[in-house]
Amino acid sequence: MNVKICPTCGCSLVRLGITDDHAAQAIYNEIVYFFCCQGCADIFQKHPKRFVEEVRDIHVCPACLAEKPTAYTVPVLHNGQEIRFCRCPHCAEVFAKDPDFYLDRLSGKTDFKGLFDRPDAACC
């Protein structure tokens, strides 16, 4: 899944409840990157290649929204697509009960306010 992760701090924008229209943005190599705050976007501009490489291996668990490197995830096939979960068996069990909800939330198709559900959520 193509989940937006702030390249500077590694936070999932879904977990923080930051939508595309509220995220700071920067372009690097003709690709638009999304950030949890303008501060992270500014830091990114100094060493964009480094930050892109650092988050290349990060996945977001669709159930708990934890950000994990591949080595700390478990792949699960769902409708022919590999989805990576944190190692907690509870997350895969919860996902199996309502996969459409979790996939929609992870892809930004639902109106999710973030785990912290606070009006000033901007950065971790």
* pLDDT tens for each residue of 80-92: 999 999 999 899 9
User: Would the pLDDT of 111 be above 80?
Assistant: no
The DSSP-derived string for 30-90 is TEEEEESSHHHHHHHHHSHHHHHHHHTTEEE-TTT--EEEGGGEEEEEETTEEEEEES-HH
| Domain contains 122 | no
**Residue 66 and residue 44 share a domain:** no
**Residue 24 and residue 7 share a domain:** yes
Domain's final residue, options 35, 56, 77: 56
Domain that holds residue 94: 59-111
* pLDDT tens for each residue of 7-65: 999 999 999 989 888 999 999 999 999 999 999 999 999 999 999 999 999 999 999 99
As beta bridge partners, residue 77 has 82
**Residue 50 and residue 4 share a domain:** yes
Instruction: Tell me which amino acid residue 69 is.
Output: P
